[in-house]
Amino acid sequence: MMNHRDGAGEPAPDNLSLEDVMEQHQSVLLRYAARVLNNADLAKDVVQEAFIRLHANWEQVAERGVPLKPWLFRTTHNAAIDCIRKESRRRLLHQRQSVEMDSYVFDPEQGSEPDRQQALVLHHLNVLKPKEREVLVLRLQEEMSYKEIAAVLNRSEGYVGTLIHCATKKLSRSLRQAGVIS
């Protein structure tokens, strides 16, 4: 290993382990990403993505003597912008789906009682957060297992189970308050 320093006065990547870099820069990157995104949970994902990108490009960064701190901030920034775009597209999709669900009107002449109940449940899905709606739709409408949902969301089965539990409680409460269920 070479023992040179980069232009920012910090050790070059070839003198540090990835764990050292993470320990040294994680908190400041989290703070930065949280401010950019205005969401601490998304900030964690973005910073994790930045470190994944560093791991994937470790040799190139070290060989070129790229200053590590600016590289990490730029990579975190790019990941945050990607996240904002993704969330914006997701919000737009949910709005469109919400409009479609709201436009569903039950016609007693045309539909059966199960159709009416399904329409009411779909309407009440709007009380849920996007992730909660997503897991319930995948579980109930697409009939996916917790394992399959975890793979879709790139999360653990435990996370999926907790999200489904919370979403079901919220949905039940909303349906109860509306008099749909007792």
What are the pLDDT digits (tens) for 105-160?
A: 444 445 555 566 667 777 777 788 878 887 887 888 778 889 888 887 888 999 99
CA 163 – CA 174 distance, rounded (Å): 16
Q: What is the pLDDT of residue 99?
A: 59
CB neighbours of 134 closer than 8 A, spacing ≥ 6? 153
Domain ranges of the chain: 13-87, 109-177
Write down the CATH number for the domain with range 13-87.
Answer: 1.10.1740
User: Taking the CB of residue 71, how many other CB atoms lie within 10 A of it?
Assistant: 19
Residue 13 has a pLDDT of 55
In this predicted model, what pLDDT tens digit does every residue of 2-28 receive, in sequence order? 333 444 444 445 567 888 889 999 999
Residue 35's nearest CA partner among 85, 84, 72 is: 84
Q: By the 8 A CB rule, do 33 and 80 touch? A: yes
161 pLDDT exceeds 70? yes
Among 31, 33, 25, 26, smallest CA distance to 81 is for 33
Phi-psi region for residue 107, left (φ > 0), alpha (ψ -120 to 50) or beta?
beta
pLDDT digit string, tens, across residues 30-70: 999 988 888 899 999 999 999 999 999 988 888 888 888 88
**In this predicted structure, what is the pLDDT of residue 100?**
56
Predicted structure pTM score: 0.47
pLDDT value of position 79: 93
Q: Which two tokens stand for residue 82?
A: 């990607």
Q: Categorize the per-residue pLDDT at 101 as very low, low, confident or very high, splitting at 50, 70 and 90.
A: low
Residue-level pLDDT at 115: 63
Q: Which CATH number fits domain 109-177: 3.40.109.10, 1.10.10.10, 3.10.20.30, 1.10.357.10?
A: 1.10.10.10
Q: What are phi and psi of 11, to 5 degrees?
A: -60, 140
